[in-house]
Amino acid sequence: MTVTSDTREASSATEQAHPKRAESPVAILRRCFARPGSRALLVYAVLGSIANLPIFPGDPARLPSLVGEDIVQTSWFLEWTPWALLHGQNIFSTHLINYPLGVDLAQNTGIPILGIVSAPLTLLVSPIASLNLLRWIAFWLSAYAAYAVIRKWTSWAPAAFVGGLLYGFSPYMASEGLLHLNLCFVPLPPVILYLIAELVIHQRRSPIRTGLWLGLACATQFFISAEILATTLLIAGIGVFVMFFSCIGEVRSRVAHAAIGFGVAGAFILVVTGYPVWLIFHGPQHYSGPAQGYNSVYNADLLGPIIPNSNELVAPARLSEIGSTLVGGNTQENGSYLGIPLIFAVGVVLVRYWRKLWPIPLAILALSAFAFSLGPLLIVNGRVVHLPFSLPFRKIERLPGLDNILPVRLSLYVVLFVAILIALGIDWYHDDLLAKRAESRQAPLARSTALARLAGVGLAVVTLISLLPNWPYPTFALLVNPAVRPKALAIIPRNAVVMTYPYATSFADQAMLWQLLDQMRFKLIGSYALVRNSRGTASVAPETLQPEVVEATLVNSISPVPDPLFPPDEATGQTIIASRIEILGAHKFRPSALAGSVLGKVASINPARHGFVFDPTTTSAEGVTIGTHTAYLDLEHGAKRTSLAAIAPGIWVAVYGPTTPGTVNAALIRDMRVFLARNHVDDIVVDLGLRDSWEIGQWIHAAIGPPMRAGHGGLIWTDVPERLKGNTA
């Protein structure tokens, strides 16, 4: 049929007489969310926002989960990437922290791709805002990616929606979402596995094009988390192995297509990631071996899939208590829980649909991932069970690129394959219902069918309730002492080398927060990062600087437990020569003071030096020297005589005896001056109100004189080299 000019003119006249009405915003939204994928995305986004309430996406004023440690480190990485690019710095290496040695960021969780994506918000607002935005995105984008992949294999959108829900809001995501943005931002593993399946199984598209997409997905995942990329490729390798023997007759006809695709992907990955990979294995500051050591404690427990922990909202108190002790008691890593209802649902799908193509391979992959997640040793309820054979992880734990894997994190793939299997089961069951309805010509469903549907709905509800995450996470206002805000730190010159108290370490990285909020204006002694130690292996302790006693005193004074990598020195205001020690026991609240004694809680014990350190207040510590005539009385158990063995960290004690000066003596003051000069320290910042911070301030005062600025909860010394020249004390 052709359209004449008269017809076109008539049509034009009609349009002029009746112009097309513009759609209202409500109509546009209604049309957009008429699509199942859009509705799924909206639901995922709403659910993802619950995790961090009252934090909103892009909130610059609150921190999630913990004030410090991994949260601060991640924020620092988000600030570092755009700052390095704007200042012409290498994004994979820095000397701004752990000065003077620096840090090989390629071996750390630097998440450069997320730093680039969030750079506009970081530069306009703060990296804290970017962190909160990305944490929100991580949940719904991961869920939606799984939904989009599963949708390729299902005909009913709600089935794919359930699969995305199980993956994006799984116990793995709930546990890693506490602290680890790089490990819960996982939209790419389902995509990578799908592209590999396309190359090996479906082969519907050009291998070159698919290979390029696979290479791009893998390279992007590398710059989010190299560990997740390594585990994804490990699981993909197992999947290819399974399919090879399942369809061995078709291998010859498919191998050329797959080889071309993998070759293109490998070349792309090599070009894009070659330099940071070289830094990982051969960079000037790289470390060798696994960061956590072999036989890591972060192995899934055999009971992990059936015993909930504190990350689950609905769980019997006793079971939750037991589950929270698994994986070394670290609920931030224990994401292996599936729940008995979900495991039962998987069993139903396998029994009903085992003759179909996918259930058995998916079940094998889920079981394989779980077997690897157990690590090199079988652990049952927290206890090692010795087997006459090795677990699968033992075969790969020393392979380069895989030796840094924490086994329990492979729980991600267990839940992914379970989610796919459940989604396929729902889809197949839906197809069965449609077929039965068509056969009966819309007649009422049989009673058995109705009961089966009711049982299925009930199982789905129970399963979802058992997997509800214990959200929202704890959140905290971003409160920074006025003395360490950028406005106060402005008196420190740009590029100055700064020593801080608390000294920057893995358990007290507040100084890295001050640095990132001050837009990286100064270099920092100490850090929370994986660095190379004197043996060439990994350490989270900062570079050991001389005299070692100074760094040890700074590190251990703020640590709740003295770092075993440093000598057990702490800054104390005075030392008590103990004539009598009365042991009061462990109490949640401070017990009553005893006349003539100094009351406090034991912080650390050093039998080699015949003493211990205890805290009379939350901001001060005192040393105790014990001798052969020191008497011990256990008042908690009837004032019976006891020994030093009854004293442990956390125990309240009352100490009697004369006092002498504390550990900050003339020799340590001289060592401080040597430390500052040898390590080219330009400025010093002390945050007051912390444990031993007043003693630290007095120590520095005795070494180089009064601070340049005092007040508002902090002390700042500037021009340290000039002070060292002028102070001969």
Q: Tell me how far CA of residue 592 lies from CA of 38, 59, 405, 600, 620, in angstroms.
A: 62, 43, 49, 10, 18
Report whether 506 contacts 69 (CB < 8 A): yes
- Look at residue 408 and tell me whether its pLDDT is greater than 50: yes
**What is the value of pTM for the model shown?**
0.88
Region 172-198 average pLDDT: 96
Q: How does 76-107 read in b/e, with b if 16+ C-beta sit within 10 Å?
A: bbbbbbbbbeeeebebbbbebbbbebbbbbbb
**Residues composing the chain:** 729
Q: Which residue is associated with the tokens 């005539």?
A: 629
* DSSP H or E stretch at residue 15: helix 5-17
Please give the pLDDT value at position 26.
56
Which tokens is 600 given?
């406090």
Question: With bands split at pLDDT 50, 70 and 90, how would you rate the model's confidence at 529?
Answer: very high
Q: How far apart are CA 276 and CA 111, in angstroms?
A: 12
Question: With bands split at pLDDT 50, 70 and 90, how would you rate the model's confidence at 319?
Answer: very high
Residue type, 72: V
Q: Which of 148, 231, 146, 120 is nearest to 182 (CA)?
A: 231
Question: With bands split at pLDDT 50, 70 and 90, how would you rate the model's confidence at 662?
Answer: confident
**Which residues touch 554 (CB under 8 Å, ≥6 apart)?**
501, 503, 571, 696
- Look at residue 255 and tell me whether its pLDDT is greater than 80: yes
Region 373-396 average pLDDT: 92
Question: With bands split at pLDDT 50, 70 and 90, how would you rate the model's confidence at 65?
Answer: confident
Please give the pLDDT value at position 645.
81
Which tokens is 610 given?
């015949």
Report whether 503 contacts 81 (CB < 8 A): no
Q: How far apart are CA 580 and CA 165, in angstroms?
A: 62
Region 403-418 average pLDDT: 94
Q: Which of 358, 366, 350, 367 is nearest to 418 (CA)?
A: 366
- Look at residue 329 and tell me whether its pLDDT is greater than 60: yes
What confidence tens digit (pLDDT) does each residue in 689-726 have?
Answer: 888 899 999 999 999 999 999 988 999 999 999 999 87
Q: How does 682-707 read in b/e, with b if 16+ C-beta sit within 10 Å?
A: bbbbbbbebbbbbbbbbbbbbbbeeb
- Look at residue 2 and tell me whether its pLDDT is greater than 50: no
3-state secondary structure of 621: strand
Q: How far apart are CA 123 and CA 120, in angstroms?
A: 5
DSSP 8-state assignment for residue 409? G
3-state secondary structure of 245: helix
Please give the pLDDT value at position 5.
46
Q: Tell me how far CA of residue 625 lies from CA of 94, 577, 630, 652, in angstroms.
A: 43, 5, 9, 16
CA dihedral sign, ordered 168, 169, 172, 177: positive
Question: With bands split at pLDDT 50, 70 and 90, how would you rate the model's confidence at 538?
Answer: confident
Highest mean pLDDT among 292-306, 409-423, 714-728: 409-423
Please give the pLDDT value at position 32.
57
Please give the pLDDT value at position 30.
59
pLDDT cut 90: percent of the chain above it: 63
Region 580-588 average pLDDT: 88
Please give the pLDDT value at position 458.
85
Please give the pLDDT value at position 663.
85
Please give the pLDDT value at position 593.
78
- Look at residue 610 and tell me whether its pLDDT is greater than 90: no
Which tokens is 204 given?
């519907």
- The rounded mean pLDDT for the chain is 89
> Which residue ranges make up each domain of the chain?
187-288, 317-466, 482-565+665-726, 574-659
What confidence tens digit (pLDDT) does each residue in 453-474 have?
Answer: 788 788 888 999 999 999 999 9
Q: How far apart are CA 285 and CA 542, in angstroms?
A: 13
Which tokens is 153 given?
């294999």
Weakest mean pLDDT among 119-133, 182-196, 433-447, 458-472 = 433-447
**Which residues touch 128 (CB under 8 Å, ≥6 apart)?**
59, 60, 61, 62, 63, 75, 478
Q: Tell me how far CA of residue 187 lies from CA of 173, 194, 218, in angstroms.
A: 11, 12, 12
DSSP 8-state assignment for residue 504? B
Please give the pLDDT value at position 7.
47
3-state secondary structure of 602: strand
What confidence tens digit (pLDDT) does each residue in 220-251 have?
Answer: 999 999 999 999 999 999 999 888 777 777 77
Report whether 256 contacts 250 (CB < 8 A): no
Which tokens is 428 given?
């197949």
**Which residues touch 351 (CB under 8 Å, ≥6 apart)?**
none
Q: How far apart are CA 60 and CA 78, in angstroms?
A: 13
Weakest mean pLDDT among 187-201, 420-434, 561-575 = 561-575
- Look at residue 565 and tell me whether its pLDDT is greater than 70: no
Please give the pLDDT value at position 3.
43
What confidence tens digit (pLDDT) does each residue in 211-220 have?
Answer: 999 999 999 9
- Look at residue 561 and tell me whether its pLDDT is greater than 90: no
| DSSP-derived pairing of the beta strands 538-539 and 531-532 | antiparallel
Question: With bands split at pLDDT 50, 70 and 90, how would you rate the model's confidence at 4?
Answer: very low
| Region label for 328, one of left (φ > 0), alpha (ψ between -120 and 50) or beta (otherwise) | left
Which tokens is 347 given?
């069993």
Region 144-165 average pLDDT: 95
3-state secondary structure of 377: coil
Cα-only R_g, the chain: 31
